[in-house]
Amino acid sequence: MSTLRGGQLGLVYPNGRYRRFSTCKGLITTSGMLVDAERNRVLVCNEDVGVSLSSAPGTRNRVAQVLEFNLDTGELQQTYDLSSLSRGPTLANDLALDAQGNIYVTDSFQPQIYKIDRATRQVSILMRSARLMPADAPAAAQGTQPYLNGIVSHPDGYLIAADYTRGLLWKVTLDNAPEISEIRLPQRLKGPDGLRLKNAHELVIVQSFPGAKGSMSGDVMLLSSNDGWASAHITAVDTPPELDGPTGAALLDGQVWVVNSRYPRLFADVAQAERTRTFSIVRVALERRPADRRRLPTRPE
């Protein structure tokens, strides 16, 4: 488990017990993470969004890293720096892993996706496209308005990434010249954050959005596709009442578990963030419903 404020990586056991996984000193805010059991490593995004106990004016929105830890010992093995590839604010939000061990990372403040090559360990920009961030986005929104967020690697050799602010899903090919297309949906998503593939045809999406009386709410949606993710339809939605800022999802024995990070409380008043000390991992019951096959048209190229 990663942490926004504490700069930690932790293990959560079935009985709810928590303990630190690593004592690495360089963690500020940790977000997207993956366990790569085949290569005995844990991969995690590290950044500074201004809410961590270790945040500083000199690093806020300027740190974008992927850290690689030994799965057995928690020892830091490698640091991949992405910040040198960006001009302006940067936020390494989430990451995905393909079958060859290559890592792909979204940047919420830049219209680009990074690649970390497994063989060479080189960091590069896989794709940069004006479509990934609106051209008319005000300068004041840079560093505050997140766009690219959750990302997954599909076994058929492409990526699926979410746009949190605009409620979109993107499909990104991994050919020599990567291409991007908008996945057609029956409706705009509401703050899509964490993504998790259940299988090649089903995608779990964790969403957070404004609730009643200025509070934050959230839900978990299951999308299905039968055309290689050119389009998708909604097959299930669950709205646990306790969600007030969910972010990531994990699968355990076929069940979906969601982290309720309560991040809006942390960002609303950083000075009082320490008052928010209780967080939860919630099991979600995604009951299928008849597919809604209405489509939104894709944006023009």
pLDDT tens sequence across 204-260: 999 998 877 667 789 999 999 999 999 999 999 999 888 888 999 999 998 999 998
b/e map 53-70, b = 16+ CB within 10 Å: eebeeeebbbbbbbbbbe
At 138 the pLDDT is: 56
Spatial CA neighbour of 166 closest among 296, 2, 50: 296
The pLDDT of residue 74 is above 70: yes
Binned at pLDDT 50, 70 and 90, residue 50 comes out as confident
At 3 the pLDDT is: 86
The pLDDT of residue 293 is above 50: no
Rounded CA-CA distance 201/197 in Å is 8
Rounded CA-CA distance 301/286 in Å is 35
* All domains of the chain in start order, with CATH: 89-292 (2.120.10.30)
Q: Is 281 exposed, middle or buried (0-12, 13-18, 19+ CB in 10 A)?
A: middle
Binned at pLDDT 50, 70 and 90, residue 298 comes out as very low
The pLDDT of residue 9 is above 80: yes
pTM of this structure: 0.91
Strand order in the sheet with 158-163: 148-154, 158-163, 168-173, 180-182
Kind and range of the H or E element at 268? helix 263-268
At 273 the pLDDT is: 62
Pair type for strands 202-210 and 216-224: antiparallel
Residue 36 contacts residue 55 (beta carbons within 8 Å) = no
- pLDDT, tens digit (0-9, with 9 covering 90-100), for 145-171: 899 999 999 999 999 999 999 999 999
Grouping H, G, I as helix, E, B as strand and the rest as coil, residue 208 is strand
At 270 the pLDDT is: 67
Rounded CA-CA distance 204/80 in Å is 28
> To which residue do tokens 């309560």 refer?
262
Q: To 5 degrees, how large is the angle CA 87–CA 193–CA 121?
A: 50
> 3-class secondary structure for 36-58?
EHHHCEEEEEEECCCCCCCCCCC
